Amino acid sequence: MSAFLSPLVGGLLIGASAVVLLLGNGRIAGISGIAGGLLGPSRRDTLWRGAFLVGLLLGPILYRMQAGHWPEVRMEASWPMLIAAGLLVGYGTRLGSGCTSGHGVCGIARLSPRSITAVAVFMVVAAVTVFIVRHGIGT
Amino acid sequence: MTGALRLAVALLAGLLFGLGLAISGMMDPAKVLGFLDVAGPWDPSLAFVLGGAVGVSALGYVMAAWMGKPATAPRFDIPTTRTVDARLVGGATLFGIGWGLVGLCPGPALAALTLGLPSIGVFVVAMLAGMVLFRLTPGMTPRTGEVRR
């Protein structure tokens, strides 16, 4: 597939996922919310959240059955860097009530001013972070 | 019966999401960083992931308005808060720094667990720890489902 077709097809499937969860169960397909909700004391939505995450984990297996190989995962970050980034992503997405899926895919689609703001902020901050790491500090 | 259907819907949605991530290239941190590196040899292809996903998702919200209520639940559980506050911007900022440092956001990180790579495992454990840490912060409660309609 061409360089732009795979991202587009993947995006369409992610959108379809959001539609299925919305029209089926009335819920937003926000990954940080679905995962974070499992970590609290409330057991109210445990089952469907768990089922969604099982599906999420099975997705790459389905990909492998079709494509014959795993999706590419290239990462050079050191363990201390992975831990720092993981903590920031976990804490930040809960504080900001969403990530790329909840604010990005679902929030922009329903024209939520909060989500559009959040996406603009985390996109710009992420780009600035990459700029500082790659071009700012003389590595 | 509705309970089983609700689980099947969630499982299908998760499967579509995981497959979509795998096809899209979002699970590859090197590609994500190439997308975020606008000053380098910029790779804009991942913009099509968000574009495609938002386009389809928007149709879902239009259909939701027609349906009135979802298939397996009494009502749509959609946040109605519209005020932008410091907490939202602060959270998005912290998330943006973490995303820019290694190129992983929550969905791709969780889906990539399936591949069994130690580095992904380390990131996910730290991410879940960050979520727990948020819960332990005095005065902080998750806003998920805070306002319903």
Q: Pick from B13, B82, B127: which is nearest to A21 by CB?
A: B13
Structurally, chain A folds into a number of domains equal to 2
Residue A28 is part of which domain span?
Answer: 1-73
Based on the domain organization, do A34 and A87 belong to the same domain? no
Rg (alpha carbons) of chain A, rounded to whole number: 17
**A131 with A101, same domain?**
yes
Residues A12 and A53 in one domain: yes
**Which residues of chain A have a CB within 8 Å of the CB of B16?**
13-14, 16-17, 20, 55, 59
pLDDT at B148: 40
For residue A95, give the nearest of B17, B90, B110 by CB distance: B90
Instruction: Note the pLDDT tens digit of each residue in B19-77.
Output: 999 999 999 999 999 999 999 999 999 999 999 999 999 999 999 999 999 999 999 99
CB contact under 8 A, A93 and B91: yes
Q: What is the mean pLDDT of residues B83-112?
A: 97
A93 and A79 belong to one structural domain = yes
pLDDT in tens, B1-24: 688 999 999 999 999 999 999 999
Q: Are residues A57 and A40 in the same domain?
A: yes
A-contacting residues of B 78-107, CB under 8 Å?
Answer: 78-79, 81-84, 87-107
Based on the domain organization, do A1 and A63 belong to the same domain? yes
Say if residue A49 is in the same domain as residue A92: no
A55 and A96 in a single domain? The answer is: no
Picking from A47, A73, A99, the residue at the C-terminal end of a domain is A73
Q: Do A85 and A135 belong together in one domain?
A: yes
User: How far is the C-alpha of B73 from the C-alpha of A26, rounded, in Å?
Assistant: 6
DSSP-assigned letter for residue B116: T
| Domain boundary residue, one of A45, A73, A101 | A73
φ, ψ of residue A41 to 5 degrees: the values are -75, -25
The chain-wide mean pLDDT, for chain A, equals 95
Q: Do B76 and A26 touch (CB under 8 A)?
A: yes
CB neighbour burial string for A47-69, b if at least 16 within 10 angstroms, e if fewer:
ebbbbbbebbbbbbebbeeeeee
- Distance (Å) from the C-alpha of residue A95 to the closest C-alpha of chain B? 5
Chain B residues whose CB is inside 8 A of the A55 CB are 10-18
- What ipTM, to 2 d.p.? 0.96
Q: Kindly list the domain boundaries of chain B, sorted by start residue.
A: 3-148
Q: Do A68 and A103 fall within a single domain?
A: no
Closest chain B C-alpha to A5 CA, distance in angstroms: 8
